[in-house]
Amino acid sequence: MFTGLVEATGRVAAIEAKGGDVRLRIASDTLGFADVQLGDSIAVNGVCLTVVAFDAHSFDADVSTETLARTTLGAWTVGRLVNLEKSLRFGDRVGGHLVSGHVDGVGQVVSIEADARATRWRFALPRALSRFVAEKGSIAVDGVSLTVNSVGDEHFEVALIPHTQTVTAFAETAVGSAVNLEVDLLARYLDRLQTGPR
């Protein structure tokens, strides 16, 4: 589990094809690897990945064909800026919202407009996910916990404060960029309880 509060950013340092899927190397001088162990989970742009190797400045993670198909990872190139968050420990503060690192769908940046010192971002989202997104609710975009300002059938809007724009990969995200979306866990489970199997 994660909180959607980005701890550091990193760069995709290597992408190695391995037996039909890939191994990623993510480099970061700011995440800190002193407490990392093999098998730990680290969210990379909102995708929960397992550490299979690491050193003082980077870690490797295997990415399955399922993850490549359902997230933005399949289109990544070396040098891409990414958001990083280590998994929660019992007793940690939950400053954002509970995030599983299981991406529900891919959205796209539709517009970015100035809004005083913040910026207002509009994202397109798959129509099937709109039922899980509520005004003033939470959503994770590329692993960042954000508050929804407004929502429609195929879009939602958020406001990014200057801090978020500066310390996350949003610094290099532009109109047209694809993003990983994870809806609120509670919304997902409440819908399942109400509708049952489909």
Structure confidence at residue 154 (pLDDT): 96
49, two tokens: 């990945």
Token pair listed for 124:
């397109």
What is the rounded end-to-end Cα distance, in angstroms, of the chain?
27
Q: Which residue has the tokens 């819908």?
A: 191
pLDDT at 104: 95
Contacts for 146-154: CB closer than 8 Å, 24+ residues apart: 146/4, 149/120, 153/127, 154/124, 154/125, 154/126, 154/127, 154/130
Q: Which of 130, 123, 102, 104 is nearest to 178 (CA)?
A: 123
Half-sphere exposure of 47 (CA within 13 A, CB side): 26
Helix (H) or strand (E) holding 185: helix 185-195
What the chain holds in terms of domains, given with CATH numbers, is: 8-86 (2.40.30.20), 105-195 (2.40.30.20)
> In this model, does residue 6 exceed pLDDT 70?
yes
Over residues 13-51, the pLDDT tens digits come to 999 999 999 999 999 999 999 999 999 999 999 999 999
pLDDT (tens digit per residue) in 149-171: 999 999 999 999 999 999 999 99
Q: What is the structure's pLDDT at 192?
A: 67
Instruction: State the chain's mean pLDDT as an integer.
Output: 93
What pLDDT sits at residue 188? 72
Q: Tell me how long the chain is.
A: 198
Longest dimension (CA), the chain: 49
pLDDT at residue 184 in the model: 87
Tracing tokens 């532009």 back to the chain, one arrives at 174
41-78 pLDDT, tens digit each: 999 999 999 999 999 999 999 999 999 999 999 999 99
pTM above 0.85, yes or no: yes
